Amino acid sequence: MSPRALLILGVLALAAVVGVWLTHGDREDPPAVTGNPLVPGLLDELNEVSAVTIRRAGGEVVARLEREAEGDWRVRNRWDYPADHGLLRGMLIALGEARRAEGRTSNPEHWQRLGVEEIDDADATGMEVELEGDGLSHRVIIGRQAGAGEGTFARLADSDASWLIDQRIDRYHAIGDWLDSRVVDIPVDDVVAVDLEPEAGGSVSVRPEPESVAGFELVGVPADAELLTPTIARSLVRVVTELEFIDVRPRSDAEPLEPVGVARYEARDGFVLYIHSYTLPEDGNAGAVRFEAEATEDADEAVRERAATLTRQWQGWVYRLPEHKYVNATQTLDGVVVDSTTP
C-alpha cells in the first residue's frame, strides 16, 4: 500500500475515533456495572425511610417531609400539613427500583448537560432527594429526562459518576407539589349554580344553558352589555374542576385578612363549596382563600358527611390558589362583560 493510501486510512481512523468521542464522550467507561441498582440496598430499605428532603438550585429546601408514628407523612416546613402521599410513594418506589441502564459522564464540567450538577449551584436545574432513616442516608440528584420512554439522568450526590436510569422520575421544584393539595374536583357538567358576591363590584351568577356556546349563561346581564368572551361563563364554572392549591399557612399566621368576596358553587348532588377570598396586606396584598362546604336540604347523607369532613379538614387554614383560579373565583360583573355601546 502506498504512503499516500496509508496516510488517508490513518486520517479516516482518527476521524472515526473523534466522532465516537464526540457522540459518547459523556458516557461512563467501562459500562460493566450497568444493571445494578442506582442506590444499592434502597429497595429493601424503603420501609425504613422516615424523612425526605427535597432541594433545588442554591441548595434551597423545597420540602421537608417526615413520617409520623402512625404512618402519615407531614410537610414540616408547612406547619405539618399533610403531604401528597401518592407522589412521595411513587418517587420512593421508582428510586428503589431504578437501575443503571447506561453510564454517562464523570466529568463535573459536563454534569449540567444532564441536569445533575451540584444542587448548591445557583443555576442547578436538578432536584436533590435526601433520604434518611434508622441507619440509612442517601442523596440522589435527579436530572432531566432522556426522552420518550428512555429514562432519567441521575447521580448519587457523593459520586462523580452519572447514569441514565431505567425509571422516569419527574422533578418537582414547588412546595405545592409535595402538599396534599387536592380541594375538590367537580366536573363542569355537574355544576348547577355559581354565585360570586364580591365586596366591591357587581355580583355574578351562572346557570346551565344547553343552548349556549359555553353550556352556561350569565344571569341578569345588563341589556347594553355583552360577554367578555363567549365562554367566560364556563371559565367561571371550571374553578371547581380539578381545584388544587399551591401553598398553605395557618389562618392565625395570615392575619390580617382583607375580604375580597365569597363564591358559592353548587353541584348536582347537593354538595356546595364556598370560597372565601382575601388579600394579605402584610404579604404584598397577595391573594388567599379559605374553604367551607355544606349540603343542600335534599342532599343524601353521604354528601352531608363529605361536606362536614372537608370543612373540618380546611378549618384553620388559608390557601393560595393558582392565579387563574383565584381571578375567576373573585370576578365582578364589570370583569366579565363589556359595554356594547362603547366604540
User: Is residue 143 within 8 Å of 162, Cβ to Cβ?
Assistant: yes
Tell me which residue of 97, 271, 252, 79 sits closest to 167, measured CA to CA.
Answer: 97
Distance of CA 256 to the CA centre of its chain: 28
Q: Coil, helix or strand for 154?
A: strand
The pLDDT of residue 212 is 86
Residue 254 near residue 194, CB atoms below 8 Å: no
Residue 78's pLDDT is 98
Pairing of strands 216-219, 204-208: antiparallel
Q: What is the DSSP letter of 29?
A: S
> DSSP string of 266-305?
EETTSEEEEEEEEEEGGGTTEEEEEEEEEE-TT--HHHHH
4 CB contacts (<8 Å, ≥6 apart)? none
pLDDT, residue 27, reads: 53
**Residues linked to residue 54 through DSSP beta bridges, in sequence order:** 63, 129
Please give the biggest Cα pair distance in the chain. Answer: 100
CA-angle at 70, arms to 67 and 74, nearest 5°: 35
Q: Check residue 14 and give its pLDDT.
A: 46
Q: How far apart are CA 110 and CA 89, in angstroms?
A: 31
Amino acid at 28: E
**Residue 82: all three cell numbers together:** 399533610
Q: What is the pLDDT along the chain (343 residues), one digit of tens a residue?
A: 554 444 444 444 444 444 434 334 455 444 447 899 999 999 999 999 999 999 999 999 999 999 999 899 999 999 999 999 999 999 999 999 999 999 999 999 999 999 999 999 999 999 999 999 999 999 999 999 998 778 999 999 999 999 999 999 999 999 999 999 999 999 999 999 999 999 998 999 999 998 888 899 999 888 778 888 889 999 999 999 999 999 999 999 998 999 999 999 999 999 999 999 999 988 888 899 999 999 999 999 999 999 999 999 999 999 999 999 999 999 999 999 886 555 5
Amino acid 287: pLDDT: 93
CB atoms within 10 A of CB 119: 22
pLDDT of residue 282: 81
Indicate left, alpha or beta for 80 from its phi (over 0: left) and psi (-120 to 50: alpha). Answer: left
The amino acid sitting at 304 is R
Place of cell 388579600: 279
Angular region, 75: left φ>0, alpha ψ -120 to 50, beta rest: beta
The size of the chain, in residues, is 343
Cell numbers placing 283: 404579604
Read off the DSSP letter of residue 99. B
